[in-house]
Chains A and B, each alone.
Chain A
């Protein structure tokens, strides 16, 4: 039953995501690998669309994946499943919210969880980068370094540098990189 599975998967993602929407990406990659519902390369398309359309990116990505997997109803179901843990948890803890804020155990757990979230995203980043700039079909003949696409690597570094340097809105970089892709026929 695809809908039941969608509900379960996105409920778990909602429950174990800490922080902003990009923190859900490691789960979406894991989901792709376990279920085969979509390709891992689909993730960068999804990020692009979700960053360039209104609405919080984590929610957009849930709708996008659900849509891809099981049509319009799948999109709605994935989204609602992902936000259900938030609705429940906020309702449960709201009465004690401000005691929670200074709860030591909570703070201590987050001391460990934050670098873990960063590590998970680093893994996904490196993996997506290898998909983006390596000619995977060439690795067996010319080796890992020989298969690096120099042009794409330079474009990646240039965009990364300008994000750090100019701090413009993500949509700006999505549009610019799309235009670069068209001009250079990537």
Chain B
């Protein structure tokens, strides 16, 4: 039990100082888990990230789950994941109750009108980042364009497109097609 609590609170602490996505958590993980706790090595952290990106699920949780599992099996997996989400639940819950009250104030409305532009710009920078890593040939370019076009034209679930693209990826690679 003591070990589990330690896993829970370690990930609670890590999550509390992570701002942004799962990748932003990496340097903090390395400091806490590798240098302070010495649970795993730097190389393992990098391996876990590589694996996590190849598995379904939120990146940060996949990595936390793997480290927890490595330490204590399934219960460690659960402790690490819950530790990671607890600060989010606490902070966001408190904040949202405030925001709905603030929303009517004029200055807040102006701020959010500006923030809408900033947040949209952040999405575009994420698209650029994903593009660089994913669109490596003409087939990938086709998948990228067709996915976006289908989403504009039809009312279809993204899940279907993800599954289809996975199948296409396997078929293309198996058939040895060169783009």
Tell me the A residues contacting B by CB distance below 8 Å.
12, 14-22, 24-27, 30, 33, 41, 44-45, 47-60, 63-64, 67-68, 72, 75-76, 79-80, 82-83, 85-87, 89-91, 93-94, 97-98, 100-101, 104-126, 128-129, 131-133, 152, 155-156, 159-160, 163-164, 169-171, 173-174, 176-182, 184-186
Task: Describe B's contact surface by its main secondary structure.
Answer: helix
Interface size on B, residues (CB 8 A): 95
- Flag if A171 contacts B19 (CB, 8 Å): yes
Which residues on the A side are within 8 Å of B166 (C-beta)? Answer: 109-110, 112-113
- A116/B96 contact (C-beta < 8 A), A56-B18, A181-B111 known: no
* Given A105-B170, A178-B112: A115 and B134 interface contact (C-beta under 8 Å): yes
| Contact of B34 with A by CB under 8 A | no
Known contacts: A55-B15, A90-B77. The answer to whether A14 contacts B58 by CB under 8 A is yes
Q: How far is the CA of A182 from the CA of B173 in the complex (A)?
A: 52
Residue interface bits B141-170, CB-to-A below 8 A is 1, else 0? 101111110011001011101101111111
User: Is B56 on the interface with A (CB-CB < 8 A)?
Assistant: yes
The distance in angstroms between the C-alpha atoms of A83 and B158, with both chains bound, is 19
A16 and B163 CA atoms in complex are apart in Å by: 9
Per-residue CB proximity of B64-100 to A under 8 Å, as 1/0? 0110011001100110010011011101110110010
9 new A-B contacts, CB < 8 A, other than A101-B51, A115-B165, A123-B147, are: A19-B59, A45-B116, A56-B25, A68-B96, A105-B170, A111-B140, A112-B167, A125-B124, A128-B119
Inter-chain contact B118/A159, CB cutoff 8 Å = yes
Q: Mark contacts of B50-66 with chain A using CB atoms, 8 A cut-off: 1 yes-contact digit, 0 otherwise.
A: 11011111111110011
Complex CA gap A70/B56 in Å reads 26
**Is there a chain A Cβ closer than 8 Å to B115's Cβ?**
yes
- With known contacts A90-B69, A94-B69, A108–B174 Cβ distance under 8 A: yes
Contact A100–B51 (Cβ < 8 Å)? yes
B108 to chain A, nearest CB (A): 9
Report the bound CA distance from A18 to B169 in whole Å.
15
Cβ contact within 8 Å between B91 and A53: yes
List B residues at the A interface (Cβ < 8 Å).
Answer: 15-25, 47, 50-51, 53-62, 65-66, 69-70, 73-74, 77-78, 81, 84-85, 87-89, 91-93, 95-96, 99, 107, 110-128, 130-131, 133-135, 140-141, 143-148, 151-152, 155, 157-159, 161-162, 164-170, 172-174
* B118 with A178: CB separation less than 8 A: yes
Contact B56 A89 (CB under 8 A): yes
A57 to B23 CA separation, bound complex (whole angstroms): 10
Q: Which of B61, B125, B166, B168 has the most CB of A within 10 A?
A: B61
Q: Is the CB of B88 within 8 A of A55?
A: yes
Would you mind naming 15 contact pairs between A and B with Cβ atoms under 8 Å apart?
A21-B58, A45-B116, A49-B99, A52-B19, A53-B95, A63-B89, A86-B58, A89-B56, A101-B51, A114-B140, A123-B148, A125-B124, A177-B119, A179-B111, A186-B113
